[in-house]
Amino acid sequence: MPLNGPNFTEVLKGTTTIGIVCKDGVVMATERRATAGSFIANKATIKLFKIDNNVGLTIAGLVGDAQSLARYLRASVSLYRLRRGSPISIEGASTLLANILNNNRYMPYYAWFILGGVDPEGGHLYSIDPLGGNIEDKYVSVGSGSTLAYGVLEENYEEGLALTDGVDIALRSLHVAMRRDSASGDGYLVSTITEKEFKEFTDDEIKKRLGKLKIA
């Protein structure tokens, strides 16, 4: 569905971010390159954020807009937990972010998000566009490398996927995108979210997995 208003495709052309719903949780992953046109501006960019113990967020678009909204969402979700004494639902968190974006549609944030996590109803994943469009799916990729990543996701995703298999598929998807998309590269960020924990994979853990997958 085309976006009305500003040509977001011209701005949101860097990055590959991925989210996958699995049987026992959610996988979220990104690469680490930040670009300014054809220039590689940074090789260690954080594009995956822990919002709460049960909620994660990936970002694509203008770094300032995306980081600002990630901080705002984290504060709002923490305040919700403090007031209610329980974590926010994933649908609630996605609706909150979508409403913020929609309320600024005439002076939009140039950022596109994947929000995912686990609540009492299970694992959930939402793609949230710059104007506040909020769509739930079982797997999502956003950014310039997404068309390449979707080739791997479409071929390998199935209902009831184990979390460990989801991590491998996310890494394979990023690897393919990074090989052909010049705006994606310079390493991997991976997190899994379950009922028990928000796990952020270390560089060594990712390296070992890449070795087992025979990905250079």
Active site positions, annotated: 15
35 with 145: CB under 8 angstroms?
no
55 with 25: CB under 8 angstroms?
no
Tell me which residue of 120, 49, 53 sits closest to 91, measured CA to CA.
120
Residue with tokens 């991590």: 167
Residue with tokens 């299970």: 122
CA dist 215 and 115 (Å) reads 27
CA dist 162 and 67 (Å) reads 31
Beta-carbon contacts of residue 35 (< 8 Å; ≥ 6 apart): 14, 41, 182, 183
Reading the block at residue 19, the tokens are: 């989210």
169 with 153: CB under 8 angstroms?
yes
CA dist 187 and 70 (Å) reads 21
Tell me which residue of 36, 39, 43 sits closest to 61, measured CA to CA.
36
Residue with tokens 């087992």: 212
